[in-house]
Chain A
Amino acid sequence: MFQLNFLIKIKTQNFMLSKLNKFFSSVKLAIILFTLIAAVSIIGTIIDQGDTIRQYKTIYGDNVFHILYWLGFLNIYNSWYFIGLAALLILTLIVSSANRTPKIIKEIINPDLSFDNALQKKGFKAKYTTLQSSKNPEEILTSAEKIFGKKFGAPININKIKDKNTKKNTGTHSLLYSKNSIFRISPIVAHLGVIVTLIGVLLGIILGYRSYTNIKVGETIHHSYLLKNNKPIILPFKIKLDNYATKYYKNGAVKSYVSTLTIMKKHINILTKTITVNHPLIYDGITIYQASYGHYKPTAARILVLNLKNKNKKTLLYAAPGKIYNSKINNIKFSFNFFKKPEKNHIPFYISIIKNNKKVERPLIFQELPYKSNKRNEPLLFTEYSNNIAFIFDGVKTYYYSGVEITKNVDTDIVWIGSAILIFALFFSFFFNQQSLWVRVIPSGTSEKDKTNKIEILAIPHKKFASFYSMIDKNIEEFKKKI
């Protein structure tokens, strides 16, 4: 009794498994999954991904934001349902490949040469024609070989078939042509390519990372921030930004963004290299890309202090707003300030002079000079105090930074190998199609009176192409004339 129960259990399990198997290897499921993935992806392109919460709230308002957040629409490519759909698709891919591969390989290595079997399962693609002829079978087959051989090449295993058939059914002669049967493997190889690519992608996600950080000119960093969640990650080496420069074309458009980086390990400079867009630095399995640039909010003005009595004497000071600096000329101190209510089209900042610890009432207003600064290509601003001392405003002190993407690309080679397999397999599966053709001659009954032989022609293309059928029709017409 127990045994019986156990057997039933196994049987139902097997039944369930085969049902599941069938479900996961169906083309229809693949199509449904494809459609769903496409639909989810479309949502991801309509709603901006990866913005900040504040940005979303401004665009959609609080309520809609919460709904979108709950639905996972704001980070849709990492949502459970998108990953779930992708996982299901991969499962379908693996199950269907596993189901079909052994059968197809078996058919390629050891094809079923029987005409009857082929006729039985000919399916919707096959073309079956019967003819009659009074010529003798050998002659019929010779002319068939002449005509069909032009398109199909040499017939396969004709002796083997003859032997087989002569054993069973004396007098029946057949010819079998099979062209490009080896290429039946290519759809499987294409699917294998996709699987390999996806394995590479998965390994990359698990073992690698993509991160981003800004490095100030002169600064050395030891960590970066992951793109997916902004969490810091410690790098296996330090990176120093030696210099950053934006290079321009003559008309002012940007030609390139150039960062000079030094890789350091334990205070030892290992290498220095410049990176630009399209030309990253690769070291120790980690790639550093030029991704962005900018400058921090300026904190001080560049003020050139000139001694007008002694023109050779000039000092450059970085003046933070409101702070008092010594000009070292006649004990005059000054500060750089902004107007509280600047007038329109006026320069919004000024210099106040502090003499003997007392603020001089009148602020020094800047005037534009007809010269331009070398660096900024903007007019210099000038002001003076009692023919003694002059201040030139030469822009603001800015700290440039270079935004770099630091990526550990693990197993991208696997992705490229998979893609290459996919593309080659697509090429072969699309342009080399299997075609098979049987010609069988069944001699008439043993009676001498009835001398007509029955000729059967079964043509099976791999794909339902009109050109194949018309080619077969043409050849059959030709064949008819010969017999």
Chain B
Amino acid sequence: MIHINASILDGSFYFTISLLMIALSLVGYFIYIFTSSKLFSTASFIIVISAFALQTFAFIIRWRYSYSIGIDIPPLIDLYDSLVFFAYVILFGFIVLKLFYNFDSLGFIMTFIAAASLAFATFYPLSTSTIEPFIIPALRSYWLLYHIIALFLAYGAFAASFGIGILFLIKYKQIDNPEQNKNINQAANKSNPFILLYRQFIKLSPPIETLDETIYKVVVFGFLFLSIGIVIGAAWADNAWGGYWSWDPKETWSLITWIAYAIFIHARLTKDWNGKKMAWIAVIGFAVVIVTYLGVDLIIPGLHSYATPGSTPIL
């Protein structure tokens, strides 16, 4: 039987509703790509903003509930909390990007990532929304809030750079290879729906230079917050475990992520590296982020493993 996290008490019901809304906006953005009708993109954006507002409300409900059962730290502890918060940060990032740049075509990718994260939170059996009235001793610290917020802002930014990187690569392929483009144009006359979609997609996405600039700015934002999050985590570890660095798998992977984006930032200084390579680093960097965020917990156990049922408690 599939378990769905949808309890009004702990706020997960509202998150599940927001999942439906985001799925709806995803469909809206999908149709927008086909039709390039402003109506759909605007409607989708309004739904995204409402979903974001609903999630904010749900977080308040969840925090109040966890406070009422005696947990004095915010509900950002287990896998469910974290996935939901990830979706929240992604929506936030998308809304900010959309306000600064006119990024309708990005909506398709961003709502997809947010929906995937929320769906994972809602349906994955090991992710439960129930807030247990106890937390393991190591997490009883106020460092937690700042550590997690900083790192999730970074994760969200890297997710956005991934999305924009994909747009860049699709668009770059078309500009880079006019010969193929010609073929596509010919094929389009035969009204192949995929080719039509592809062309539409390219038409709708911002100019390649803007994409390049946005990738850089978003990565840099993420890099700053990744650094802040790692330093806060090190300070916390120094306070709780007896050393600021223990080569715990999550720590090591966060360092690898940091290195990946440090490469990105330095590579821009090398003159012969063009935007295409940068976009590739942004895409690969996000894969590293996913390993750091989920892979390490689900595959390699360590001090950072999420408190999933059946896992051994950490001191």
Contacts and interface: CB of A to CB of B under 8 A. Distances in A.
Interface string A66-80: 000000000001000
Interface stretch (A151-159, A251-259, A298-306, A319-327): A251-259
A277 B236 CA distance: 11
B242 interface: yes
Contact of A210 (B220, B242, B313): B242
A469 B263 contact: no
Nearest to A409: B238
Interface string A37-50: 11001101110010
Given A423-B224, A467-B210, A38 B256 contact: yes
A77 B270 contact: no
Contact of B259 (A28, A37, A46): A37
Given A28-B270, A44-B252, A430 B224 contact: yes
A210 B216 CA distance: 40
Number of chain B interface residues as a range = 35 or more
Interface stretch (B90-98, B136-144, B184-192): B136-144
Contacts of B256: 38, 41-42
Interface stretch (A310-318, A341-349, A365-373, A411-419): A411-419
B228 to A, nearest CB: 6
Nearest to A405: B242
Contact of B235 (A35, A77, A416, A422): A416
Contacts of B241: 289, 291, 405
A210 B237 CA distance: 13
A430 B221 contact: yes
Interface in A65-101: 77
B252 to A, nearest CB: 5
A292 B262 contact: no
A325 to B, nearest CB: 38
B231 A419 contact: yes
Interface string A16-33: 000000000001101100
Contacts of A45: 249, 252-253, 296, 300
Contact of B137 (A256, A280, A405): A256
B260 interface: yes
A466 B213 contact: yes
B212 interface: yes
B239 A280 contact: yes
A426 B227 contact: yes
Contacts of A409: 238, 243
A278 interface: yes
Contacts of B221: 430
A28 B220 CA distance: 20
A463 B268 contact: yes
Interface string B192-218: 000000000000000101101100100
B219 to A, nearest CB: 10
A41 B292 CA distance: 13
Contacts of B238: 409, 412
Nearest to A30: B266
Given A38-B256, A466-B212, A278 B239 contact: yes
A31 B266 contact: yes
B179 interface: no
Contacts of B65: none
Report which residue of B243, B253, B255 has the largest number of chain A beta carbons within 10 angstroms of its beta carbon. B243
Interface of B: 132-134, 136-138, 140-141, 207, 209-210, 212-213, 216, 220-221, 223-224, 227-228, 231, 234-235, 238-245, 247, 249, 252-253, 255-256, 259-260, 262-263, 266-271, 296, 300, 313, 315
Given A30-B266, A427-B224, 11 more contacts: A41-B255, A41-B256, A124-B271, A201-B245, A276-B137, A278-B137, A291-B315, A293-B315, A405-B242, A419-B227, A467-B213
13 contacts: A27-B266, A27-B267, A251-B133, A251-B134, A255-B137, A256-B137, A277-B137, A290-B315, A291-B241, A292-B315, A415-B244, A426-B223, A430-B223
Interface of A: 27-28, 30-31, 34-35, 37-38, 41-42, 44-46, 49, 77, 123-124, 201, 210, 249-251, 253-257, 276-278, 280, 287, 289-293, 405-407, 409, 412, 415-416, 419-420, 422-423, 426-427, 430, 463-467, 469
10 nearest A-B pairs in the assembled complex, by CB-CB distance = A466-B209, A405-B242, A253-B134, A249-B134, A289-B242, A277-B137, A430-B220, A45-B249, A419-B231, A38-B259
